[in-house]
Amino acid sequence: MKHHAKKSSVLVLLILAAIFVSAHSSSQNGLATITFPTEPPLSGEPVLVSIYLTDDSGKPLALLDTRHERKLHVIFIGQDLVTVNHTHPEDFEIGFSQQTNGTYLVLHTFPQAGHYAALLDYSANEESHSSTVPFIVVGKENLPNTTYDFSRTKQFGNYTVELKTPTNITTGENEFSLHISNGTPVTDLQMYLGSELHVGVIRADLTLGGHGHAHMLETSHMDMTGMQHYFGPELPFEYTFSQPGVYALIGQFKHNETVVTTNFLVNVTGEPVHVDEQGHSETLTQDSSFPFSVGWVFIGVGIVILFTAGNKWRKN
């Protein structure tokens, strides 16, 4: 009986450890980790999202460059590929309260339960990085699944937007453009966060994506970053796909002091290609499946121990 009690105590400790780890568990991709106060987060309630960044050696990344007027761009995207929010630590008073240890904070309310991903775009030591971190949100009402509408012209509020694409979109570099009108072609677009256009790119399974912007004009030895080159109706951009699949191209532009979010789906074919992560391109997640809490590992071990202890107790 003492032997069984000892085994049971070990089980209790393992389960308690599992609960603790689950309550602070994370989703990770490469140099970026996202954690929540409780795992998984609950929809419909404000949640503190902690984003932990490291350098190539695993050390906390406490100094970020300012790019496009912000140090860290965070785009949350839901499984319907329509639910989108673009936010930054600068938007919140507590955003940089833990910057010294490489942690950046944002507050967000996920409207419904389901699968989500965070597209992270930042720069350190003049090197650009993009990460895609998938995670799960729980709650009573679920996001709808993706509706596969491949229309090239859509209405977004008062704006008619056409996505112009290559005839065949394949892995590797592709050039696109948005044509914007609201009855007549729009020719007085405004800058939004240091660019005429921000584009979040995410594959339908939410495991792969990146962040891009409008093309910069070629200039001779002049840094034209942050200067406006395009006023409409055309906004050109490019993106390099490393893997085939269905992707959402989520654009944001500004007109008449209003930020307009667009959404188009494209089907990318071809063989996988290597992509340099530093070029505002996509990076693969460590695992193509959605991450789970390591706390379940502790629970699994505890169940095995309990089962083994029970067999020995019955034999004695």
Residue type, 259: V
Report all structural domains of the chain as residue ranges with CATH numbers, in order of start: 25-143 (2.60.40.1930), 153-284 (2.60.40.1930)
Q: Which two tokens stand for residue 261?
A: 């979010």
Select from 109, 92, 105 the least CA-distant residue to 53.
105
Torsion from C-alpha of 292, 296, 297, 303, nearest 10 degrees? -160
Confidence at residue 215, expressed as pLDDT on a 0 to 100 scale: 75
| Range of 95-99, 286-290, 310-314 with top mean pLDDT | 95-99
- Under the banding of pLDDT at 50, 70 and 90, the label for residue 247 is very high
Tell whether the model's pLDDT for residue 114 goes beyond 60: yes
Dig out the tokens for 55 from the structure: 């350098």
At residue 278, the pLDDT reads: 37
Q: What is the pLDDT of residues 198-208, one digit of tens each?
A: 999 999 999 99
Q: What is the mean pLDDT of residues 163-181?
A: 97
pLDDT digits (tens, 9 = 90+) for 1-44: 444 444 444 443 333 333 333 334 456 666 899 999 999 999 99
Q: Which residue has the higher pLDDT, 228 or 222?
A: 228
Neighbours of 179 (CB within 10 A): 17
Torsion of CA 266, 271, 276, 282, to 10 degrees: 30
Quote the percentage of the chain above a pLDDT of 90: 71
**E strands present in 157-244:** 159-164, 172-181, 198-203, 208-213, 234-241
89 contacts 71 by C-beta, under 8 angstroms: yes
Separation between Cα atoms, residue 183 and residue 163, nearest integer Å = 17
Q: What is the pLDDT of residue 20?
A: 37
**Which are the contacts of 293, defined by CB distance < 8 A and separation ≥ 6?**
21, 22, 25, 39
The dihedral region occupied by 81, where left means phi > 0, alpha psi between -120 and 50, and beta the remainder, is left
| Distance separating alpha carbons of residues 95 and 92, to the nearest angstrom | 5
pLDDT at residue 237 tops 80: yes
Radius of gyration of the chain (CA): 23
First to last CA, the chain: 9
pLDDT at 295 over 50: no
Q: If DSSP codes are grouped into helix, strand and coil, which group holds residue 41?
A: coil
Q: What is the mean pLDDT of residues 97-108?
A: 97
Residue 72 has pLDDT above 90, yes or no: yes
